[in-house]
Structure 1
Amino acid sequence: MQPIDTSVIISTYNNPKWLEKVLWSFDVQTYQNFEVVIADDGSNNETAELITSIREKVNFPIQHIWHEDNGFQKTIILNKATVASKGNYLVYTDGDCMARNDFLQVHINKREIGYFLSGGYFKLPMDISKLISEDDIKTQRCFDIDWLKTHGLKSSFKNNKITAKGLKQKLLNALTPTTATWNGHNASGYKTDIIDANGYDERMQYGGEDRELGERLFNAGLNAKQVRYSAICLHLDHERGYVKPEMIERNLKIRATTKNDKLTKTPFGIVKL
């Protein structure tokens, strides 16, 4: 049995219905030498029961990394999951982002020493998010623009994220005005680079906590590749009741220090310096 090449780190908190859909999406990936590490920020037993059940049905190993619920501590659990990961290449995403079946293959094909990859997501409305079944995921019809439009998706330039192929995909990745940043719902890099940066800054809560890690990677000399129109995931809708203005404000100050002092590692990460 060959050693695991890639670890997919999926953050979650008390949303087992969405997490289940995400895990089904990884069961039909064309690239298969990977594990899933679930970074669980204190979910109740329902999530643990789902993971126990689905482990028997999917083709990839699952690690469930959990700590007690003590508010929004996503950065802490992500660091624990990063340390526990067995792959030398890490793909980070969220428990509300279903990956198209070529999602991992794109990350693997585009990876390169000295770079991290920056992707996005395609937001679905709540009614379509609820409607999608295991069969819709396994057949991949939920990634088909015509199927989505049949179920109420409106026409938009953003639909190119799903439909773009070949030259158009390359052009849109090159021309998008969106900066290539470390996005927690769709980013990847070599584990050694993440460890060298000391992982996520554990002082940070919601709002730019992933971007700050990317800013330290840039300070360390890494570059970013844009895969916004090629590594595709669908974002399942949900409320964001955990967002507080003081979180955002504190995070902005930390990010300003990272930028101004050109920090390459945080003293508040995996290892407390």
Structure 2
Amino acid sequence: MARTKETRANAAPGAGTIFTLRAIGLVLAARWLFSMSEMNLTTALTAMASSPWACINLVFLFLLIFLPGARAAAERPFHPLPQWLRQALRLFAFLGFLFALWSVGAFVASAGWRRAMQAVAATNGWLVAAPVLYAIVLWICRPLPLWRTNVAARRYAIGRFAVSLDPMTRTVVVWAERRKVGQYDARELSVRWASGSNARAAPTPAVAFGAAGESGASAAPMRSAAAPSLARSALGVRPKVELLWDSPAAAGHNRQTVFRAALTTEGDRVAARALDTTLRQV
């Protein structure tokens, strides 16, 4: 089978994430250098050496611009960054966002709204843009699964967990973001829904677990377990779903929880229901 050649017009999934993060890093670095250019070089270096925040910001800009270990790949479209880099950027972006909000808030409290608006106009909106850029980095580096749900390809995304099922070997691989949780026999896995008043006994048609070589063949519809609604409980807690591993051959590992995830979106609910239906047909 001919393979698709990756070109500039057909970039690997995740290349846009890398480009966006580097662009934000270059904008932050350019603005920082512009601010430092208004001071004497010796004064600027002395201030940077004596400021812990300046050292943190330097490390953050270095990671954001160079992105060591980042590589776009089709098998992990949502995770072109190594896990350690994603977590580091998430931490530094959160600290930068808090520092920017605190700085802007302190200035507004001391100078008033009129002078604050004048300062925003004088800095070409940088007082507002800086927190927004940190927030964008924080949003890009949020916990995500490896891929989107694709029932036909037996790939499911629930929260930050990704599940891949191989119909030939009847094995299931589970990923937590980019970290591999484990590989299991599909016949030893089951989905357990959260119980309570949010559970609705709505039968759903089964997704055909066809063998390799089948194309579009549909199986007889089955009824799967009831999937809870997305309504929050009285305490504001989302319904959760668990993937359980029950292996009689594994001593000490009977009835273990592979992962537990909250159903925050309709996509999570649909993916969990499709995974439950597929595992019941194995």
Could you tell me the TM-score, scaled by structure 1's length?
A: 0.25
Bigger radius of gyration: 2
TM-score of the aligned structures, taking structure 2 as reference length: 0.24
